[in-house]
Amino acid sequence: MSEPMPKGPEWGTFLLMLTCYALWFAALSLLPEVSLLLAIAATAVLVAFHSSLTHEALHGHPFRSKALNEILMAPQLNMVIPYNRFRDTHLAHHRDEKLTDPYDDPESNFLDPAVWRQMSKWQRQLYRANNTLLGRVLLGPIIGQICFVISDARAAWQGDRAVIWAWILHLPGLVLLLWLVSLTSMPIWAYGLAAYLGLGLVKIRTFLEHRAHDQMHARTVVVEDRGLLAFLFLNNNFHVVHHLHPGVPWYALPRLYRDRRDEFQNANQNYVYTSYGQVFRRYFLRGKDPVPHPLWHPGE
């Protein structure tokens, strides 16, 4: 069965993008007068939702025009991840044969065992805490951002023009975003906290998306959830479906999974959770995976 690719513009997704921006500005403008905590919480959810919409854009939605999709989502509400870097690293992550590789998968949470052995005791404790769901939400954004910035700084120093231009192009959007925040009653520090919490919400989705496994497709999860978190993540919880059919839009993933459920579960060797509730119950305070990659063989 071929991918159910849309033939024209996806107006529903486009409307979601406009709605996200409108609700974001409304949350900044109106909610702090009611409750700053409520404003921070609502903004965090919208930052996470914007990340999900950005993911759709870099995969070719809602329009066939790459430039138009990128213009729509270029102002990154999280402030710290340039659109072009999100795009390039995520598309590199879609080389499924490299999934979970500590070096070649930009989204891997595993470390080279040799690097792990060289870490101090406090660094190991930090990474072990980061491998619980609670730790990933609270610590994951800062750990990930530090590693990301160090990697990009190294690449820029070595003359990687794509990385340099990505950060240069990010600056106008960041300036615009900060200016818009300054027009509202949301303090800048509160917006920074909301952006951090939004990145933390995204970590709920990415926490167990991939596992170490010798079979390529068995590395990618399905969480059979259709609740609020599934909508927040635009059905990317059907993650093996997305990896096998990356051009399928978010709204078509549940039906595609339902129609071919046995096929997808055979492909990922039953790496399946029934809901995010099950994920929280199992891993909220417990690590799911070891930090050093358990199947890592350098040179393969």
Q: Which of 169, 191, 207 is the last residue of a domain?
A: 207
Range of 144's domain? 11-207
Q: Is 257 among the domain residues? A: yes
Q: Show contacts of 63-71: CB within 8 Å, 24+ apart.
A: 63/9, 63/10, 63/14, 64/9
Q: Are residues 117 and 62 in the same domain?
A: yes
pLDDT confidence band for 122 (50 / 70 / 90): very high
Phi, psi (rounded to 5 degrees) for 243: -70, -35
Q: Are residues 135 and 243 in the same domain?
A: no
Question: Once rounded to an integer, what is the mean pLDDT over residues 53-64?
Answer: 96
* Residues 6 or more apart in contact with residue 164 via CB below 8 angstroms: 156
Question: Once rounded to an integer, what is the mean pLDDT over residues 121-131?
Answer: 96
Q: Are residues 16 and 59 in the same domain?
A: yes
Q: Residue 296: what pLDDT?
A: 81
Structural domain count of the chain: 2
Q: Are residues 255 and 118 in the same domain?
A: no
Q: Which of 154, 186, 207 is the last residue of a domain?
A: 207
CA dihedral 103, 106, 112, 118 (to 10 degrees): 110
Q: Residue 1: what pLDDT?
A: 43
